Amino acid sequence: MNALVHGTFTIERAFEAAPEAVFAAYADVVQRSEWGVPSQDERIVYSEACFEVGGLDVYRCGPKEDLRYEGRVQYQDIAPNQRIVYSERVAAGSTVLSAALISMEFAPKPGGTRLLLTAQLVSFVGDGMLQNAKRGTEAALDNLGRSLQRS
């Protein structure tokens, strides 16, 4: 049995889009499905999506030919255009890989939005899960930035 590994990371991004547009890009599950994967070789498919406090999103993700991971997100707090707070559990089959509490804060700045994402994560399978979560989140937020530029 692996020992628990705890970690916290914060990612800040500046977008040249209003907080309403950045918030909407997360709230819309179709848009989130497009920018939310770290690379073009992966995909995410939602089987449930309920973006409201107490609501549950259920998704599968991974390489396009092998969606081996299942995620379950439950929304703890939503303040439109200001913040989203959710818990997330990621598993592969019956093996729970991680559990996290994630907050996203949207603040207006001249010419756009400052996004501050903080993730508090516990990995049940070692340190690699923490590193992969941070790397994947950074890549997804970079994709979000490109998506907002095209809008």
DSSP letters, 10-76, are: EEEEEESS-HHHHHHHHHSHHHHHHHSSSSTTEEEEEEE---STT-EEEEEEEETT---EEEEEEEE
Question: Using 50, 70 and 90 to split pLDDT, how confident is the model at 95?
Answer: very high
Domain that holds residue 64: 5-150
| Helix H or strand E segment including 137 | helix 127-150
Task: Give the percent of the chain with pLDDT over 70.
Answer: 99
Instruction: Answer whether residue 92 shows pLDDT above 80.
Output: yes
Average pLDDT value for residue range 70-97: 97
Helical packing angle, 127-150 and 19-27, nearest 10°: 120
CATH code where residue 65 lies: 3.30.530.20
Q: Map tokens 């994947």 to a residue.
A: 136
Q: Which amino acid is at 5?
A: V
As for how many domains the chain has, the answer is 1
Cα–Cα distances in Å, from 23 out to 3, 54, 86, 107, 134?
36, 18, 14, 10, 20
Tell me the mean pLDDT in the region 113-130.
Answer: 96
Confidence label for 116 from pLDDT (cuts 50, 70 and 90): very high
Instruction: Report, as an integer, the average pLDDT of 44-67.
Output: 97
In the predicted model, what is the mean pLDDT of residues 54-79? 97
